[in-house]
Structure 1
């Protein structure tokens, strides 16, 4: 397929997460593409202003455009309301609602799936909806919506083998695995400092609380860079050896990654951009051996994997880490498998062959 008119659909553009790396590369592949989303915060993400972002009715509602995730029913309507008529190819990016666009007749819809709705299909990992009144009934409604909108997707791309397996399990669909891209930034060698690092959004399923518990007991210095709803709870339980840096810039992020002894990654992620960013800077990762981390990391070579998601396993992994010698060149070489160049080659080949 050689599309003339391309639409790229992001679920929402209100903060920068790992998923935006995929969006950036797609916009580089298709610079003339039109960018659609339900709601856009230009102050937080000014880099997308040049694309004349097309938004839904949510953009005009003052409260909702900043707290959109508090109103899931409106989000479903918002993604369905986007006018995508006239496009040969529509690429949706989906971790919740993205694939729910209304596909016009004659268009091809490719969904790049970061994960099937986690809080619907894996509430044992992400239980946010089970805590609200009538949450069980809303989950059932979302499941039906998710299954119905799955039928509007012509082709699925999964961000990992882990996600591909869940697409097969929940949607009964095949998918092609194309890992997200990571910009491999070449930097000068940096002397490691005596601290460990957690980095990312502070939300429950990331399980930063387990890292805090482990470091409360061992007394080692742990820096936590990021913001989110778990910040207050984490600060309450953290001892003085644990410092909270808040949200950091991209430059600060890479500086921290280069200087830390190791990145601590205790959650189960569908893929996980941050571990790749870490090994690209010759920094090992101590991670829970589930999800994307198991695909990205090689135990004893690019990091240390632990099997049980608890503070005791993290403590034991830290001891293993201290006994293990890592070769910087091997870490960086592994990271190159996830480079932007490789991602673009795979996407172009995939689209050409459909």
Structure 2
């Protein structure tokens, strides 16, 4: 059997446009397999972001050449299933897809192992379809019917393409349940990496609450602002920019400070000093609440999605935050009042200790070990050792 470290590995990512949570997972995968070849629907990374993937340039699909692909790539979603199927991965022993849309749909053969690290089944095609159509203004009229038809076709392809994945790895128990619901497949849970070491614990807290996020509709930031507008004796700081900024500003009162986009140093400083971090989104995993805990800051969160797995509300396990049941101003106000009435303040050390469960080193060790074990089982089940020595192998790593 070929040594695991000598395997020909292809890593397929959705698209390289901006550096977010899934891209940080990709970065750690490339740390595990530094000689892996990288594939993506499009690659429009900036020079600054490309440094985080070792200067690599991905092998891309024909969508890279379409008009305004770097800005309008999501408009080309109906073409992406076909595009990703055109990637030639036939020379690789192990194919790893990092998927929240189409990358798991790559075509592999019987002598190749395909492991998909799934951030989510396609959200806007499955259970979030109605929310997506409403937010995009596509819930009515002929354009709405056309959008529904396209999403129907994407669901059909998405379910079929799941059959080509040998093993699913989910980024949370929440996503594992969605994988089972949509694909009727089991998924191993390996939590994504969080840059814990980039954050320092702060033990001295100031008299303000913090929320930080890109201000997009599903984050529900205006509801947080509205809640604090009704609590004039409590201060809120909002860090982040986005399409909902104007809506949030319209609700803001004198006790609410909207700072817009800020550099990391400013974000970390506020995270370390905040009384608590307010998190009102239903996320697949949710990196920012973990970062807040890494700063020793408790989190007051909407009790759904990945937050239920990253925040501890049980005193016997070392409380790091508390939950509320609805994404509404009233629910947030009630949660803040409960937080302030806790008999024992939440210990910053407990928050930091909990956050360390999600370190990048832990991810690399767990994911490599899982892939190594699955590949050994795959070879044994094949009865023969997969060989592709006659096929040239080249690295796409930038010179």
Structure 2 counterparts to residues 1-354 of structure 1, below 5 A: 2=4, 4-43=7-46, 45-47=49-51, 48=53, 50-123=55-128, 126-128=131-133, 131-132=137-138, 133=143, 134=145, 135-185=147-197, 187=200, 189=202, 191-219=204-232, 220-299=234-313, 301-324=319-342, 325-354=345-374
Please give the alpha-carbon distance, in whole angstroms, between the structure 1 residues aligned to 2:260 and 2:60: 29
Q: CA deviation at 1:275?
A: 0.9
How many residue pairs align between the two structures?
A: 354
Q: 1:266 to 1:125 in 2, by over 3 A?
A: farther
Q: CA deviation at 1:89?
A: 1.0
Q: 1:233 to 1:72 in 2, by over 3 A?
A: farther
Higher relative contact order (CA 8 A, sep 6+): 2
Q: 1:174 to 1:258 in 2, by over 3 A?
A: same
Please give the alpha-carbon distance, in whole angstroms, between the structure 2 residues aligned to 1:13 and 1:246: 24
TM-score, normalised relative to structure 1:
0.93
Contact 1:13 1:45 in 2 (8 A): no
SS of corresponding position for 1:182 = coil
Please give the alpha-carbon distance, in whole angstroms, between the structure 2 residues aligned to 1:115 and 1:234: 28
Please give the alpha-carbon distance, in whole angstroms, between the structure 2 residues aligned to 1:341 and 1:201: 27
What is the Cα-based RMSD across aligned positions, in Å? 2.1
Please give the alpha-carbon distance, in whole angstroms, between the structure 2 residues aligned to 1:340 and 1:109: 23
Of 246-255 and 30-39, the range deviating more from structure 2: 246-255
Moved segments of 4+, more than 6 Å: none
Q: CA deviation at 1:11?
A: 0.6
Please give the alpha-carbon distance, in whole angstroms, between the structure 2 residues aligned to 1:68 and 1:188: 39
SS of corresponding position for 1:7 = strand
SS of corresponding position for 1:36 = strand
Q: Deviations over 1:232-271 (max 9, x none)?
A: 3333333343333333333333222112221111111111
Q: 1:65 to 1:58 in 2, by over 3 A?
A: farther
Q: 1:98 to 1:199 in 2, by over 3 A?
A: farther
Q: Which runs of 5+ in 1 are unaligned?
A: none
Contact 1:92 1:98 in 2 (8 A): yes
Q: Which runs of 5+ in 2 are unaligned?
A: 375-399
